[in-house]
Structure 1
Amino acid sequence: MHRWTLALLTAGLLATTVTGCAHGTSAPAAGRPGTHRAPAGAKETLRLAEQLLIKECMEKKGHKYWIEPPPPDDVSVRFPYVIDDPAWARKHGYGTDLRRAREAEVRADPNQTYLRSAPAATRAALVADLNGTRPQGLSARLPNGVRVTHSDQGCQAAAQRELYGDLQAWFRATRVTDTLAGMRLGLVTGDKRYKAAVEPWARCMRGHGYTYADPAASRAAAMRPGRPWPHAKEVRLASAEAACAVAGGLPDVTKTLDAEYRAELSRRHPRETADLSRLRREALPRARAIVARGD
C-alpha cells in the first residue's frame, strides 16, 4: 500500500478493500526528493521502474511525485523466527531505534509533505489519481479465505500494467504469495521440530534471567506498543536471544523448516507461484529499459 494511502486512512480514501481478516503492511522509508539509487538487482530494478512509471503518470496528471526508495528490512523480515546475529542485536536490540528513525523519515517524506500541504479536494484527487477512485477491477481470493480487491485504475495500476502486462495475474500472484509467507511462519513455529529446538533456547534464556517460552514472547515483551523499553534493556534481551539461538542451533532448524514449508506451499499454490516468477522474468527487460531511460 502506498504511503499516500496510509496517510489518508481516516479520510476514507482507501483504494483497497479486504473481506475477512488479514495482516497489514508497514510503510517504506523516505528518501531525498528527485533522486534514486542505481538498482542492485532484479527486484530493485523492477521496483524502481514501477516508481518511475508512477512518477511519469502522476506528473502528466499535474501532480508532483518523488521516487520512493525501497523499504529497509524490519526486524520481522530480517529475523522472522529468532534474532541470530549477536552483533546486530548488540547494536539495535529489536530494531526499535531503526523504526523510530524510519518514522521520522516518513514524516519528512516529500510526498507526504506535498500531500499534507494540499487542500482537501486536491488531496482526494491525488490519492484517486494514484490508487483509483474505487477498490474495484482487481480481485484475489487468498489461501486463508480472505477476498481482497483493488482498483485497476490510477497511476499505480497503470505502472504495473505497463510493466507486468497482465495486471490481474500480477495482483493475484503478489497477494497470494504474500499471504503464503505469513502462513509459512505459522507452520514453522507450529512444527514439533521447532518446538523441540526452542526448549534448549528457553533454558539458555533462563540462565540469562529471562523466562520467555519462545522468541516470539521475548520480542513481544520488548516491542509492546506504547510501552517502549530503554534501549540498553532492549539490547540486553535481544543479545541474550541471539546468543542462545546460536548456541542451541535454533537458526539451523528454522532455516531447514522454512525451506521445507516454502516448497510445500509452492506445491499447494503452483499457479500463483509460477505466475509471480514468470511475470517478474518477463518484466525485467522492460524495467531495465525504463530505468535506463531515467526520470
Structure 2
Amino acid sequence: MHRWTLALLTAGLLATTATGCAGDTASAPAAADAGPRRVEGTPRETLQLAEQLLIKECMEKQGHEYWVEPPDPENLSTRFPYVVDDLAWAKAHGYGTDLRLADDARARSNPNQRYFRSKPAKTRAVLVVAINGARPEGLSVRLPNGMEITHSDQGCQSTAQRQLYSDLQAWFRATRVADSLADTRIGLVMNDKRYKAAVEPWARCMRGQGYTYTGPGQTRAAATQPSTPWPRAKEVRLASAEARCALSSGLSSVAKALDTEYRDELRRRHPRESADLARLKHEALPRARAIVARGD
C-alpha cells in the first residue's frame, strides 16, 4: 500500500473495512521530488513500479498530482520473523532502529504526504476518494481465520490493479489470503514443540553471553519497545549475541525448516489462492514491463 496510508488514516477516511466472524498550509513539493528512477528490477519490483505508474496516470487524469512511491522497506519482523540470525546485519543495524528512523524521516518528507497535507480538508477528502474509492464495496474475501475483508473496486489503486492483473477480485482474494496465511504460518512455527525445544539451547547460549532472556521475542521487545531508547551500541551487542546463538544453537536452522514445512502445508490447504497469485503475477509481468518501459 502506498505511503498515503499514514495521512489517510490520520484523516480517518481510508476506504477499507474488516469485520470479524471468529488545514496545513505547507506548499506542495516541487517537481524535483519526482521519486525513484524508473528502472525495471526484480519481477516483484517491476510489478510494484508498474502499479505505481498506473496510479500516477489515473490520479493525473483527474487533475491531481501523484509521485511514484518506492517499495516499502523490509522491516525487522518480515526479515527475521523468528530470530535474528544474520550476524553481519545485526552488527550493522542491531534490531533495525537506525533503518526505522531513516524510513520515518523519508515518510515525513514524502512528496505525496506533503501534497496531501498542503490541501484543505475538502480537497483531502476528494483525494482519498480518488485513490481509494468512495466506499469499501465491490471487493470482498473471507479469510481462513473467518474475518471478512472488503475494499472498493473503484479508485485509482483498484483501477491500476485491474489494468495490471485483469481479474481484480481474484487478485484481491489471493493477496489478502496470502497475507493472512503468512501470519498463520509464523504462529504455527512459534507454537510448534520443535521450535520451542530449539529455543532452550539458544537461551543457554545467551546466558553464556550474559543475557537471561528466555526467547527471541523477549530480546526484541527489550531493545525496541522501552520507554527510553537504548544506546545504539547496547542494541547492537544484544542483536549480535542473538544472531551468534541462533546460528550456534541450531535455532535458525530449525526455524527455517519449520517455516518451509508449514508454508508447503498451507499452500496445500489453500491451493486456489496460491495458484491464482502465482498465475496473476506471471500473466501481469509482461504488461508491467511494457508499462515501465513506457514510463511517465
Q: TM-score range by the shorter chain?
A: over 0.9
TM-score when scaled to structure 1?
0.94
CA distance in 1, matches of 2:21, 2:77: 20
How many residue pairs are counted as aligned between the two chains? 287
Aligned to 1:123: 124
Who is 1:192 aligned against? 193
Distance 1:228 1:35 in 2: 31
Contact 2:173 2:273 in 1 (8 A): yes
Kindly state the Cα deviation for residue 7 of structure 1 after the two structures are TM-superposed: 1.1
My pick for the range that moved more, 35-44 or 248-257, is 35-44
1:139 paired residue number: 140
Residues 143 and 177, structure 2, Cα contact 8 Å, conserved in 1: yes
SS at match of 1:8: helix
How far is the alpha carbon of 1:3 from its aligned partner? 2.3
- Counterpart of 2:55 in structure 1 is 54
| Percent of pairs with identical residues | 71
C-alpha displacement of 1:154: 0.3
Q: What CA RMSD, in Å, does the superposition of the two structures yield over aligned residues?
A: 1.6
* Match in the other structure for 1:16: 16
Conserved? CA contact 1:5–1:13, under 8 Å: no
Q: Distance in 1 between matches of 2:273 and 2:85?
A: 31
Matched, 1:33 2:19: no
Residue aligning to 2:164: 163
Contact 1:140 1:148 in 2 (8 A): yes
SS at match of 2:63: coil
Q: Is the 8 A contact 1:36 1:69 kept in 2?
A: no
Partner deviation per Cα, 1:254-276 (whole Å, 9 max, x = no partner): 11111100000001111111110
Counterpart of 1:204 in 2: which secondary structure?
helix
2:54 and 2:38 map into 1 onto residues whose CA distance is 16
The unaligned stretches of length 5 or more in structure 1 are 23-30
Partner residue in 2 for 1:294: 295
Using the TM superposition, give the Cα deviation of residue 245 of structure 1 relative to its aligned residue in structure 2, in angstroms. 0.6
Q: CA deviation at 1:37?
A: 4.3
1:2 alignment partner in structure 2? 2
Query: CA offset at residue 193 of structure 1?
Result: 1.1
The residue identity in structure 2 corresponding to 1:260 is E
Counterparts in 2 of 1:1-295, with a 5 A limit? 1-20=1-20, 32-224=33-225, 226-295=227-296
User: 2: CA distance between counterparts of 1:21 and 1:127?
Assistant: 28
SS of match in other structure, 2:289: helix
| Counterparts of 1:200 and 1:259, CA distance in 2 | 22
Q: Secondary structure of 1:149's partner?
A: strand
* CA deviation after TM superposition for structure 1 residue 4, in Å: 1.9
**Moved beyond 4 Å, runs of 4+:** none
Q: Residue by residue, what CA displacement relative to the aligned partner does 1:147-192 show, whole Å, maximum 9, x if unpaired?
A: 1110100000000000001101100100000010111101111111
CA shift, 1:32, in A, is 4.8
Moved more, 136-145 or 219-228: 219-228
Contact 1:52 1:67 in 2 (8 A): yes
- Separation in structure 1 between the aligned mates of residue 251 and residue 261 of structure 2, nearest angstrom: 16
Aligned-partner Cα distance in 2 for 1:129–1:136 = 15
Letter in 2 for 1:13: L
TM-score relative to the length of structure 2:
0.93
Q: In 2, Cα distance between the equivalents of 1:54 and 1:269?
A: 30
